Structure 1
Amino acid sequence: MTEAPAEQAGAKRVRLDQRMIVDAMLRLARDEPHARITFKRLGEALGVDATAMYRHFRNKDELLKAALDRIMGWATEAGRESSGTWRERLEVHLMRTAELALEYPSIGAEGAVIDSVGPGDTSAIEFMLEMLAESGLRDEELLRAYAAISGFSLSQSSALANDVLRHPDAARDGSEPWISTFGSINLSGYPLVNRHRDALLAMDGLTVYRAGIAAILDAVELAASR
């Protein structure tokens, strides 16, 4: 009897579960940021047939939600494990959210449009509400601050990740220019833009992210002090 090839025999011994598949997707997103991640590619990485994925995830969107939820959980762990004031701990969480989006850009790019609805996402919401409650906010002010922070963080982290995906040579550190050029526009008719032209062109995506978070948290502190 002809023996099965070793790689096939090895593939049969692989016992997949959801965590293994998510782990593989995260590895590919980190190591091959510009490659399109498919069930076929995941199957190759795991040594199984691509159809095996469907026993654990109905489609790629469901898998993407699980991977995004894992990232949200990591960002929350960073905040919970940090020390300092409510603001300092919240800043750790929010900066880690952006860093992870840049590290896993094909997943982080979807953060603003996909609701992962999992334990990682829920823990992130709980942590942000805890920190804002610790600041002194209550009820409507608490929820309004959460909405501003969460919306800005997710949308801007997604934008940073998309910058990486659009530019194959981009560094994954948020250093892509926020404004790359003013082109051939004569800036004499835009006095403030003209005055700050060099500073605007020197601004990168992560600088904008930090500035937005700082502005929102300054507003939170002001509201809480009242």
Structure 2
Amino acid sequence: MSEESAPKRARLDRRVIVDAILRLAREEPHARVTFKRLGEALGVDATAMYRHFRNKEELTRAALDRLSAIAVAEAEASGGGWRERLEAHLLRIAELSLEHPSIAAEGAILDPAGPGDVAGDEFVLARLSEAGLDGAELIRAYAAVSGFALAQSAAMAQEVMARRGAARDGSIPWISGFGSVELSDFPLVSRHRDALLAIDGMAVYRAGVSAILDSVA
């Protein structure tokens, strides 16, 4: 192969590597991205990653932080009042989690603790402050909003990874079925069976966000 036709290696820095892991997480949603796979995608030896990140966990934290920053930036530009902007932010968190499931699935156990993550905290606190909350009420509402969004978005990401071919739009059923249970023993479940089976992950996410923000309002 001539020098002109040989593939050019990426000039590595932290941003390039985070770009690459997010791209692979989008393109290969059912696989956890390894340094080896990243090296193949970037045309470098896997050991090159260690010059910029101590380990895969540190890289995953950086990728989660980038997703947080994206969600904040897009919500900031969305306009509207405190509730509209906060809903836009929380919905974008869920969408980004579904787009990058192997990264978002780690969000429930890894705290990015970077500028994007802190910007997300600031954004949520600012919108809740605009709603009139302060002191203990503000912190309690923040805990409810951020805890629910983090847990449910990570759960949806994990479901996507577990089900090959599943759509990445939150449409995986919340309840897959009731097995061999005799529903006549559970009258409310029996009466609402079809409606319960129609609920999907994103419906649960939206309902949870709405319930929390209704209580804030």
TM-score normalised by L of structure 2: 0.96
The aligned counterpart of 2:118 is: 122
The aligned counterpart of 1:224 is: none
1:189 maps onto 2:185 in alignment: yes
- Structure 1 or 2, whichever has the larger Rg, is 1
1:107 maps onto 2:103 in alignment: yes
8 Å contact 2:35–2:46 — kept in the other structure? yes
Aligned residue among 98, 102, 110 for 2:94: 98
Could you give the per-residue CA deviations for residues 51-94 of structure 1, whole angstroms, max 9, x where no partner exists?
A: 10000000000000000000011111121111111000000000
3-state secondary structure, aligned to 2:106? coil
The aligned counterpart of 2:33 is: 37
The CA distance in 1 between the partners of 2:206 and 2:69, in whole Å, is 21
Superposed, which structure 2 residues align to 1:43-122 within 5 Å? 43-122=39-118
8 Å contact 2:31–2:161 — kept in the other structure? no
Amino acid paired to 1:169? G
The CA distance in 1 between the partners of 2:32 and 2:107, in whole Å, is 17
8 Å contact 2:69–2:120 — kept in the other structure? yes
Q: Show structure 1 runs of 4+ deviating over 4 A.
A: 3-7
Could you give the per-residue CA deviations for residues 105-160 of structure 1, whole angstroms, max 9, x where no partner exists?
A: 00111111110000110000000000000000000000000000000000000011
Unaligned runs of 5+ in 1: 222-226
Give, in angstroms, the shift of residue 6 of structure 1. Answer: 6.9
Unaligned runs of 5+ in 2: none
Could you give the per-residue CA deviations for residues 19-48 of structure 1, whole angstroms, max 9, x where no partner exists?
A: 000000000000011123111110010011
- In angstroms, what is the RMSD of aligned CA positions? 1.5
The CA distance in 1 between the partners of 2:24 and 2:149, in whole Å, is 24
The CA distance in 1 between the partners of 2:160 and 2:198, in whole Å, is 18
The CA distance in 2 between the partners of 1:152 and 1:10, in whole Å, is 44
Give, in angstroms, the shift of residue 4 of structure 1. Answer: 8.8
